[in-house]
Amino acid sequence: MLKFIVKKLLEIVPVLLIISFIVFTLVFVAGDPVALMLPDDATQEDINNLREAMGLNDPFIVQYGNYMLGVLQGDFGDSFRYNTAALPLVLERLPATLELAAASMVIAILIAIPFGIWSATKRNTILDLFVTGTSVVAKAMPNFWLGIMLILIFSVTLGMLPVSGHGTWQHLILPAITLGTGIGAEMTRLVRSSMVDILNQEYVRTAKSKGINRFFVVYKHAFRNSLIPVITITALQISTLVGGALITETVFSWPGLGQLLIQAVNTRDMAIVQASVFVIAILVIVMNLIADMLYRVLDPRIKY
Amino acid sequence: MNKKILSLLLFAFVLILSACSSDDSSNGEAGGSTTSTPENQSKDLTIAIGSDMLGFDIHDHSNTSTESIHQNMFDYLFKRDANDELQPMLADSYEIVNDTTLKVSLKQGVKFHNGDEFTAEDVKFSLERVAQTPTLKENPNYKQIKEVQVVDKYTVNIITFEPEPSIIHRLSRIGSGMLPKKYIEENGWDYFLEHPIGTGPYKFVEWVRDNKIVFEKFDDYYQGDISEWDTVTFRIIPENSTRVSELLTGGVDIATNIPPADWDRVNSNKGTSLKQEVSNRAIILKLRTTEGYPTSDVRVRQAIDYAINDGMLTEVALKGAGIPVLSIVGPGNFGHEPSLYNTFNYDLEKSKKLLAEAGYPDGFEMTLHSPKGRYLMDAEVSELIVGMLSQVGIKVKLEFMEWSNFVEMRNANKNKDAYMLGMGNSMYDAAYTADFYSAERNVGHTDYSNPKIEELLAQSKVNMDPTTREKQLQEIEKIAAEDTPYINLYIEEINVGVNDRIDFTPTSDEMLYAPYMKLK
Amino acid sequence: MSEQITTVEKEIPYTQVKKQSGAGKILKSLLRSKTGLVGFIIVFIVAFIAIFAPWLAPFDPGAMDVTKILKPPIWIDGSDPAHILGTDNLGRDILSRIIYGSRVSLLVGISAVALAGIIGLIVGLVAGFYGGIVDMILMRLVDSFLAIPNILFALVFLAVFGASVPTLIIVIGVTNWVAYARIVRSEALSIKEREFVKAARSIGVRNPLIIIRHILPNVISSFIVISTLSVASTIILEASLSFLGLGIQPPTISWGGILSDGRDYLATSWWLATLPGLAITITVLGIIFLGDWLRDILDPRSQGRG
C-alpha cells in the first residue's frame, strides 16, 4: 500500500508540470494583458516599456522558466485586476467551493444509493424505467436552468429559502441540490448497473436460494460490493463536480473559487486563472488518490 | 484487519474535510446573509450590483460602477448637487486667480478615517499623483495640472499648463478623490490598497473579491451624521435573475440594472418598486472613416443614420427606457444642445437615395462589433440594427465580443466598419466628449478628422469665458450630428429596483451614494 | 508489462466483442429494448430535423417582427397562431430557432467527438505500441487532462481563442480524447503481446497494418459507446459555455445560445428558455438511451449497465 501511495505521489509531479505547461502556453498565446492595463490613449512607447518591465519581451522558454521558478515558491504572479498576489486570493475561496462540493456529493449519494438499489431490485419494471428515465433527464438538464428554476420556485414563490449568498445551512440547500442532481443521476445509473451485476452473481443467487432474508442479501452482501465501482465513479465525478461548481456558484453568487475564476477568465486576469487551474487540478488529483486508496481497501481482489 | 483500520482512517479524513468546510459556514462570515428577512428597523443597507469594483486605486480606473461605490468613502473637492450645479464639498470656497491658477480654500476640521486631519498637503499629494503618473488610467483627465502649490495648511493653488475651463468639473469626479498623504507614506501604497481610508461618510470594513464589499458608518464625518445606515454592504450578483430574485424576496434593499423583462415583476411585487432616471451615457455606433471603407463617405454614414429607427430601438429593446439623441451630450452637461436631444433621423427613402448617390445603390457589406451584456440590452439592440440596415440593402456581419476581447480590439485599432459603444461623461462637460472627435485621438482608429471641429476644439479648450465656450461646444455637436462620425442612438435610462422601506431615486451619474438612500 | 497494467486496471477492458450476425439481429434487439427503441427514434427525428431544417422551419430563424414580441406558445392565451411555440424578445419564431439550432448542436457534438476519437486513437496507439518512456509521458498527459475539469479547460481556451463553432469543436475535441486513448492503449498493450502480432511483425508486416487489421475492429464498439455519450455531454457543455458567455455567438443559432439568452425571461416568459432546454433534454435522453442499448449489444460483459 505504501509503495502504491509513493508511486502515485511521484506521478503527480509530471502531471503538474504538464498542466503548468499547457496553461502557460495558452496564456502565452492569449497575448499579454498590457493592452488592458494601460489607459486607452497609451502610446506604443508606454506599451513597450511596460512589456519590457514585465519581462513579456523575453523568449517563450525564458518566460516559462521564470514562471515555474515562481510557481515552485508558490508565486503565481499578481492579479492585475486586483493588484495582489493570485494564490492567496484563490486559496481564500477554496473552503466555500469545498463546502458546496461536499454538500452536493452528500445529496448525490443520498439520491443514488436508495434509487439505484431500488431500481436494480425491480429491474425492468415500470419503476425501473421511471428511475432510469428520471436520472437521464436530471443528467441532461443544464445546471444553470435548474438553479434559476429552483430559486424561482423555492425562494421567490414559496419564500422558503434564501436566494443566494453564503452563510447559513439554508443558503447551502439550493446550490447543493443544483449541483448534486446531475452527479446523483449519473451515480444512480451506476449503482443500479453494479447492483444488477452483483445480484446476478452466483453467491447472491445461492444465498437467496438458501432462503436467507432478501433484505439481508441485498443490503449486506450486494450493497457492499456495489460500493466499489461507485467509489471509482465518484472519483471520476470530482472533476465534473468542480466544473459544475463554476456554474452553480455563478447562479447563486456563492463566494467560492468559481465566481472568482469566471470573472478572472472574463477579464483575462491570467494569474488568477493559472493559480485556480493549478489548485483545482491538485484538488482533483488528491481526491482521486483518496478514492483510489479506498477502492483498494474495499476490493479484496486487488493485490499489491 | 489493517485494511479495515485504513478504510476507517480514510473515512475519518473525508469527514474532517467536510467538517472543516462547514465550520466556515457556522461562523456566519457572510454579511449579506443576515438580511434575508430584513425588519423595517434594520440599519443595515444591502445593495446588489452586477459586477465587482476594480480596486481602491482611485486613479487607476475609469469605471463608473467602481466610482459609484468609492463615493461612499472618498470625498471630492467639489460635488454636483441635485440641479447639476457644482458645489464645494471638501473645498470651502474657490477663486479663479488667473487663467491657469485656481485658488481653493479647504474646509477645516475634516478627518480621515484614521483620525488624521485633511489638509492642503493631502490635496497636493492626491492630485499630483494622478497628474504626474502617465501609467494611471485617469492621467489623461488630470495631466493638464502642472502642480499644486500649498499656500497654507488650508489653502492650495492648482496650477494648470494652459487655461483650463473645465477644472472644477475635473475635480468632482473619478480620480479626484482625496487621499491621506501621511497614512500612505507611512504604510506604503500596497497597504493602502488593502486598508484604504478616505474622508467620506463610510469607512472600509472588508472586500471579498467578486462577492461583497462592506462599509460601516464613519462617526467623525465632518458633515455630521448625514446617513441613516450603520453598515452598507454591496453584494456582487452577476446573474440578472438572481439579483432580481434577491430584491423581490427582500434579500437586498436595492438592486441595480434590472432587465426590462422584470420591470413589471418588480413593480407588481409587494414591497418593491422600479426607479428610473435618465443617465449620462449615450449608446453610439463608432464608424470607421478610414479611406477604403464605405463609411469613409459621409453620405454612407448619413444613410446608416437614416436607416436606423432609434425610436423603435428604445421602444422595443429598452421598453421605453432610452431617449433617442443626435448628440452624446445630454441635459445637465455643460455644452448641451437641446435641438439634438430627444430626436432622431429615420427616413428609409432618404437613406436609399444617399446610398445610391454614394455609389452603393444595392447596398454593401459591413461588420459591426458589439459587446454583449455590457450595456442595457446591447445584444438585442445590435440585432435589431442588423435587421434595420438590411432594409436598405446594407448587409451587416454582426460580431459579438466578450468585453475584454472587445477592449483589446478597440485598443489595438482592429475595429472595422462600426462598433457599438456606450459613452459616459463623468465630467458633465461637453469638452470631455468633444475631444473624442479630435483627429489626434482617432489616428489609426477611426481616422476621423474634420477641420472645422479641430478649429473649434482648439478654441474651446483654452476659452475661459463660459458663454462663448458653450457656443463652441454646441457648434461642435451640431457639426458632428451632420458629419456623423458616430451614429448617436440613444441615452440609456438607469433602472434600479428599490425596497419600499427606502426612499431612493437614482442620479444620472449612476452613483450609489448611501446618504441619498433614506429610510422611509 | 505488469507495471503498465496496474495503471489501467481501473477501467473496464473492452476487449471482448461478440460478433453480430447481420442487421436483422440488431433490429430484433432494438425492438426488444424499450429504451433503445425510444432512443433510436428520438435520435432519428433530431437528425432528420437538423438535415431538413430549411424545409421544416416555418420562418426564417433570424427574422424579427417587433409587432409580435414574446408571444406564448399556441396552447396559452394571447398566442399568435402562426407561431406554434411562440416568439422571443425580438419577435423571432422559437420553433424555427429550435429547428435550426439542432444543426449547430449536432454539428458541434459530432465533429468534436470525431476529433476526440482521432486524437485518442493516435495517442493510445503510440502509447500502447511504443511503451516505455513514451507511454509514461503520454499517460501523464492523460492524467493531466483528467485533472482539469472539461468546462474549465474550455473556458480558458475559448477566452484565449474566441468563441466560434470551429474553436468550440476543437476545444471539446481536445478535452474529450482521454477516454478513447485509454481504451486504445490497453487494447494495443494486450494485442502487442499476442502470438499472431509478434509473428506478423517478425515477417515484416508494418505497424500501421497491424493497427488496422487487429486493433480497430476491437475498439470500434467501445468507440461507438463512448461517442454517443460524448455527443450528449457535448451538447450540455455547449449550453453551459453559453451561460458563461463563451458559447456560440449569435447570429449563429445554437440550443445553448437560445437557452442562455432566454434565462432572463424565465420568470415572465418561461418558454424562451424552457423549450430549447427541453430540446436539449430530449435529445440527450435519446442519445443516452441509444448509447446504453449499443453498449448492451456490443459489449455483452456490461449487460444491464447504465
pLDDT tens across C270-302, in order?
A: 888 889 989 998 998 898 888 888 877 776 554
CA B412 to chain C, closest CA, distance in angstroms equals 16
Give the pLDDT confidence score for residue B13 in this predicted structure: 43
Phi, psi for residue B223 in degrees, rounded to 5: -90, 5
The answer to whether C9 contacts chain A (CB < 8 Å) is yes
Give the pLDDT confidence score for residue B389 in this predicted structure: 95
B-contacting residues in A 240-269 (Cβ below 8 Å): 250-253, 255, 259-260, 263, 266-268
Q: Chains near C, with 3+ CB pairs < 8 A?
A: A, B
Q: Which of B310, B402, B404, B414 would you mutate first to test chain C, the one with the most C CBs within 10 A?
A: B402
What's the CA gap between B274 and B251, in Å, rounded?
Answer: 16
Please judge whether C162 and B405 are an interchain contact, meaning their C-beta atoms are less than 8 angstroms apart.
Answer: yes
pLDDT of residue B460 exceeding 70, the answer is yes
Of B262, B380, B402, the CB nearest to C90: B380
pLDDT of residue A96 exceeding 70, the answer is yes
What's the CA gap between C292 and A186, in Å, rounded?
Answer: 13
Please judge whether B245 and A163 are an interchain contact, meaning their C-beta atoms are less than 8 angstroms apart.
Answer: yes
CB B188 within 8 Å of CB B136: no
Give the pLDDT confidence score for residue A302 in this predicted structure: 53
Give the pLDDT confidence score for residue C164 in this predicted structure: 86
- Residue B440 burial (10 A CB sphere; 0-12, 13-18, 19+): exposed
C-contacting residues in A 248-287 (Cβ below 8 Å): 250, 261-262, 265-266, 268, 273, 276-277, 280-282, 284-285
pLDDT of residue C306 exceeding 60, the answer is no
Q: Which residue from A142, A102, A169, A170 is spatially nearest to A251, judged by alpha carbons?
A: A142
Of C69, C264, C268, the CB nearest to B316: C69
CA C277 to chain B, closest CA, distance in angstroms equals 17
Give the pLDDT confidence score for residue B12 in this predicted structure: 44
Of B25, B194, B246, the CB nearest to A169: B25
Q: Chains near A, with 3+ CB pairs < 8 A?
A: B, C
The CATH code that applies to domain C46-52+95-305 is 1.10.3720.10
Q: Which residues contact B111 (CB under 8 A, 6 or more apart)?
A: B117, B118, B199, B220, B221, B222
Q: Which of B210, B400, B407, B410 would you mutate first to test chain A, the one with the most A CBs within 10 A?
A: B210
Give the pLDDT confidence score for residue B386 in this predicted structure: 93
Give the pLDDT confidence score for residue B34 in this predicted structure: 39
Give the pLDDT confidence score for residue C14 in this predicted structure: 42
Q: Which residues contact A201 (CB under 8 A, 6 or more apart)?
A: none
- This prediction's pTM: 0.85
Go through chain B and tell me how many residues it has.
520
State the CB neighbour count (10 A cutoff) for residue B115.
Answer: 9
Q: Which residues of C touch B (CB under 8 A)?
A: 62-64, 66, 69, 89-90, 159, 162-163, 245-246, 249-251, 261, 263-269
Please judge whether C159 and A268 are an interchain contact, meaning their C-beta atoms are less than 8 angstroms apart.
Answer: yes
Question: For cell 414563490, what's the residue?
Answer: A157
CB C246 within 8 Å of CB C163: yes
Please judge whether C266 and A142 are an interchain contact, meaning their C-beta atoms are less than 8 angstroms apart.
Answer: no
pLDDT of residue A54 exceeding 50, the answer is yes
- Residue C132 burial (10 A CB sphere; 0-12, 13-18, 19+): exposed
Q: Which residues of C touch A265 (CB under 8 A)?
A: 155-156, 159, 246
Please name the residue of chain A whose CA is at the shortest distance from the CA of residue C33: A124
Please judge whether B383 and C265 are an interchain contact, meaning their C-beta atoms are less than 8 angstroms apart.
Answer: no
CA B131 to chain A, closest CA, distance in angstroms equals 13
Higher pLDDT, B32 or B298: B298
The answer to whether A44 contacts chain B (CB < 8 Å) is no
What's the CA gap between C158 and C172, in Å, rounded?
Answer: 10
CA distances from B162 to A38, B283, B426 (A): 25, 32, 22
Helix (H, G, I), strand (E, B) or coil at B262: helix
What's the CA gap between A117 and B326, in Å, rounded?
Answer: 69
Cα dihedral C27, C29, C32, C33, rounded to 10, equals -110
Q: What percent of chain A has pLDDT over 70?
A: 80
Confidence band for A222, pLDDT divided at 50, 70 and 90: low
A-contacting residues in C 200-239 (Cβ below 8 Å): 232, 236, 239
CA distances from C100 to B395, B485, C50 (A): 21, 37, 7
- In this predicted model, what pLDDT tens digit does every residue of B168-209 receive, in sequence order? 999 999 889 999 999 999 999 989 998 999 999 999 999 988
Confidence band for B39, pLDDT divided at 50, 70 and 90: very low
- In this predicted model, what pLDDT tens digit does every residue of A238-268 receive, in sequence order? 888 888 898 999 999 898 888 888 888 887 8
Q: Which of B211, B212, B252, B445 would you mutate first to test chain A, the one with the most A CBs within 10 A?
A: B211
Q: Which residues of C touch B402 (CB under 8 A)?
A: 159, 163, 245-246
Confidence band for B26, pLDDT divided at 50, 70 and 90: very low
Set of cell numbers at residue A130:
421511471
Give the pLDDT confidence score for residue A66 in this predicted structure: 83
Please name the residue of chain A whose CA is at the shortest distance from the CA of residue B249: A156
The answer to whether B259 contacts chain C (CB < 8 Å) is yes
Q: Which residues of A touch C9 (CB under 8 A)?
A: 302
The answer for B444, left when phi > 0, alpha when psi is -120 to 50, beta otherwise, is: left
Which is it for strands B272-287 and B418-424: parallel, antiparallel or unpaired?
A: antiparallel
